[in-house]
Structure 1
């Protein structure tokens, strides 16, 4: 659906995007994960024809985004990070305005506004002014505006910034519904739990470069870190550890009264049972999961939100 080759963009002396390439399949949710300033928004702005790249090519549904800019714009919907709504207009009037810009005939537009407001759960608030809406509700209308012309691809730039958990979950449900309808979605965020829930494939981006890309399982295979459980005991002797090794087949590393066991959370009960058999008093348990945050740290040497 989307092919990006050797894409670069600089602003004065800052290299915002540095020679990145990737492919997005039709019907998938593709996520860009990286900290603020990593190049996510710049990449999305070039893909949506808002920005012109310095080098590289972008093809959407087989069409070059520079040579066929008008056709590509009809294929895509853009949900910007900023709220692009008129505060003193109702939600319905905002959508009338944006739909008219797309050139949608009046009768069809009214039907689409009704359907879209129903999808995002705000049909009953359609006549209320945007300035009376919560941040999460505004974000949902922002999404609605990008859907009126029935795009094949939806670009979403950090659509959950600054909203409450309930509104965030509602947006997730809308995204999942749209994807089931066949819309290809490109999603940027610095929240690893969002891409873990939503995305089929993920590109980890930092300082303008794609560090790694693939499914979650493929990304986990790139790093040496394994899932582990750290136990802290009131007292732990070397003899205790040897006894545990006889009962369990996991790799174990002792550090005074702490024991690092290389096993998954699913096997936690096995370790606890063995500790109880040996009458070992567990003081604390810490789960070390191999999630995207850990992968980002492993690949870049820094925290995702640094």
Structure 2
């Protein structure tokens, strides 16, 4: 959009240009021929001067004719020219927006490929070696850290929002405890809550063996904790949420949940959660119980 001052300046410029062309046409096609005609009709002009005036009059009339034809066929009003100029400018803005969008998608794809590559190497190392449970969990933590390091490229997460990424695992008493988390709020010693299966967005995801995406968890009570699990800051910190089931590769049931939260409404959607799904699958391979 253009502001009024810019619009007035453009109209003034085109108006001045239109007046100049009208004055040029008036002088070349009317005033000069009339003046030459008057001088020619007046007496006392030598033949030499008259011989110069006639070609000048013919030339001036020819120039006026050409200028008039040009103005008739090609002249445009200031408003029409400005409208075309505005249209081309807006078209350029649309093209620039498309370029910026493609650049963002390319950056996201590059970060996604990097995460897939790191996860593939980690899974291969686990499958080819006899790792201890502590070693497997350390690998899972490293994969989460790698994804969090690229949160801006993958999800557009900004420093002005409160974000959180976590891996929850299911224990024998049907509770989900936090194996590892990283966030940009709270204190280093804060301990994440344990979520019973079926409670909150973490427990619901595990119960359903699937995934939960919500634009604004604060607007739906079903995603909130109950009793001792409820915190007064939950509706501020946890708005856009993606909770992805970590499947057991043996039977497909949930052994845990990969969680990404943000204080920004609509942070996670079907368009950008594929890196979380891929990481959840890799975590499933790494953390699933080994069959004898």
Report the TM range for the smaller structure's normalisation. under 0.3
- Identify the structure with the greater strand proportion: 1
- Identify the structure with the greater helix proportion: 2
Which one scores higher on RCO, CA 8 angstroms, separation ≥ 6? Answer: 1
Question: TM-score, normalising length from structure 1?
Answer: 0.23
